[in-house]
A = this chain, B = another copy of it.
């Protein structure tokens, strides 16, 4: 039923992703290591490694950081693992091994491993699951351990984590003496399902399934826990009116969740685990719930950049079609989680709509989270930036007009790093006799199957160019099909096999299909028309009413002060005048800019704030220039807008 991921080696030199992977490898991973060790001078100390050293008895001191500080170490190791898989580095491996030594020493005799509770609230383990991220941290460490074992074959970290998993399995469940609970921040479920994929041990699947199925059951665990805590929040020390179960996706059992709601990262992490479980068990009711939630996110609660989360208050979803540009959140981690979620649905059923959303989030909402040089990051990915508003209006304080060095709550940078380093997992999958090419990334993969022993090489200038060259060489059986995605945004796609046009290539669920006849070296050329175009939102999206955005292929564009001057809001775009693609600005990575025609509202005469309407004229038309959204803020600081007024 489901398709199987085909590991894909992303090209290390040349191609769009080579830059980002090199940056993560050479800059981000070393930078994050220094950050985790409090060695970055212009960033707040992370204290993450030091916390482990203190628990391990290697240093003395107190716990510092967020309750979930441990998780950053897990995510860093995970990113390193993916990096090692493609670029061996004895030095980096030695760093991880030394870190694992510390983690192993920090582990309690019964397998417990959490620096916050060990140092700060000893004796209070598992007493505040709703708020204190204990299983969340375990999940990220476990993901790191699995990835490291897969990359290097070294099992030491995994053994540490398996001991912890055994303790978790003994602690949680519906049996006598067990805690019938689950974590306030979903993540352990994702990690346990990955563990099961790796170990195939049924108890790992069952533990994941327990956490998922128990969530939201009546009586509600979070309500009971909140009662035990006297209604007092860990975070504020104040009483709360309710346990806020919906914020934690725990107001009803998972199959009954009506719409995407609550904290956006938690939500998509839960949905990702649900989809992973559905993929694993084939549970149709779970598939249906996942599809309903996915449709709600993608059709009603997703920014045009693939960002999700419409408010910084609680970093949360709000309500259908509420996608404010000025005050939205669109956390980098939430888009990463959306990719996880969507990828499982794609593996459940190859349908280009899923790959389209992965592409959208990857190239826009996620990559925007990091500066080109890998030294600065965004937590919030705004659709509109006005530096003086970020500084002067507290409602917009969360919108950073410039990327930041490192955050006290540093979930996003390592999440971005691990995704960039594992982007090869999203390229190809295999189902029966068909190999799907979901994303267009330069690199190679080995294809294996009945009668199949071939290599697929992908060469492309994507996402800036629409030509994708697929070279299939080796032994390919007659019935084999190669199915490259025809993106939903594409109006014209042409396909050739060994130079011969295939005008009648079948299109199924958004995938074109090439069926041979195969020769020794088959060159399939996919040509996607990359036209720039204006986008509009449904009229229900109030923030985009009367506005257009610009897209070219997978890339959403934005307008910056650097090219268009201050007060972008005074510009309006003449849609009828069309769009022009050029490369005169010399943008990084060879990205083209797109030029529209527009007008700037006349400056006001006199000092009055308001006055009678004048003639609609405005100034003469002028060029208005857009650059890819993921590149914003890499030149000068200034205003930025994705949605522009339409004349």
Contacts and interface: CB of A to CB of B under 8 A. Distances in A.
A311 B613 contact: no
A200 to B, nearest CB: 39
B567 A613 contact: no
A393 B319 contact: yes
Contact of A322 (B311, B318, B322, B389): B389
Interface size class of A (residues with CB under 8 A): 35 or more
Given A392-B319, A567-B540, A607-B299, A535 B612 contact: yes
B318 A386 contact: no
Interface stretch (A71-79, A117-125, A337-345, A598-606): A598-606
A545 B645 contact: yes
A211 interface: no
B322 A539 contact: no
Contacts of A610: 304, 535-538, 549
Contacts of A321: 609
A551 to B, nearest CB: 8
Interface string A206-247: 000000000000000000000000000000010000000000
B601 A392 contact: no
Interface in A519-571: 533-542, 545-546, 548-549, 567, 569-570
A646 B534 CA distance: 20
A197 interface: no
How many copies of this chain does the complex contain?
2
A114 interface: no
Contact of A324 (B395, B533, B602): B395
B541 A609 contact: yes
Nearest to A318: B393
A310 B607 CA distance: 20
A538 B604 contact: yes
A637 B237 CA distance: 37
Interface in A268-318: 295, 298-300, 302, 304, 310-314, 316, 318
Given A299-B608, A607-B295, A393 B322 contact: yes
A529 to B, nearest CB: 13
Contacts of A646: 613, 616
A572 interface: yes
Nearest to A573: B613
A26 interface: no
A326 interface: yes
A575 B321 CA distance: 28
A394 interface: yes
A614 interface: yes
A503 interface: no
A533 B613 CA distance: 8
Nearest to A491: B612
A575 B617 CA distance: 12
A601 B392 CA distance: 34
Nearest to A603: B539
Given A538-B609, A545-B601, 7 more contacts: A237-B237, A299-B609, A326-B326, A539-B600, A539-B601, A541-B609, A545-B645
25 contacts: A299-B607, A311-B394, A311-B395, A313-B394, A319-B393, A322-B392, A324-B393, A327-B327, A327-B395, A386-B542, A533-B613, A534-B612, A535-B611, A536-B612, A536-B614, A537-B609, A538-B609, A538-B610, A539-B600, A542-B569, A546-B645, A575-B616, A576-B616, A613-B646, A616-B646
Q: Top 9 A-B pairs ranked by shortest CB distance?
A: A319-B392, A313-B394, A534-B613, A542-B569, A538-B604, A545-B569, A539-B570, A318-B393, A539-B601
